[in-house]
Amino acid sequence: MARIAGVNIPTAKRVPIALTYITGIGPRTAETICEALKIEPARRVNQLTDAEVLAIREYIDANLTVEGDLRREVTMNIKRLMDLGCYRGLRHRKGLPVRGQRTHTNARTRKGPAKAIAGKKK
């Protein structure tokens, strides 16, 4: 099993598909990596040589922010917004949708399960 950027990527899958298992690499970036390193996209990970796996690893380290570094960067950006006290930061702090979605109904994923109103009788 090939290990790239601290992630065990599946060996039976095609190279571009397997690379998307790494946080921060999507389908387009995976294709770009294959083009840059001249790796045939139809090849499987278990068909790659050790030199090709090493080349992929070095390319990702040199050109992309992935996994732990990316997560840390995103977390720091959210923390910065919350410290500033801007609208988006307040929404993060309260656990509400940040990007202008409707909250009167829906938004249950962010708001959590519905709470019953205590003093209301029918």
Q: What is the pLDDT of residues 53-109, one digit of tens each?
A: 999 999 999 999 999 999 999 999 999 999 999 999 999 999 999 999 999 999 999
Using the structure block, give the residue that is written with the tokens 């006290």: 85
Q: Which two tokens stand for residue 105?
A: 């109904």
Q: What pLDDT was estimated at residue 97?
A: 95
pTM across the whole model: 0.77
Q: How much of the chain, in percent, has pLDDT values that exceed 90?
A: 81
pLDDT at 122: 61
What is the rounded distance in angstroms from the CA atom of residue 79 to the CA atom of residue 89?
8
Separate counts of helices (H) and strands (E) for the chain: 6, 2
Distance CA 39, CA 56 (A): 9
Q: How far apart are CA 76 and CA 98, in angstroms?
A: 16
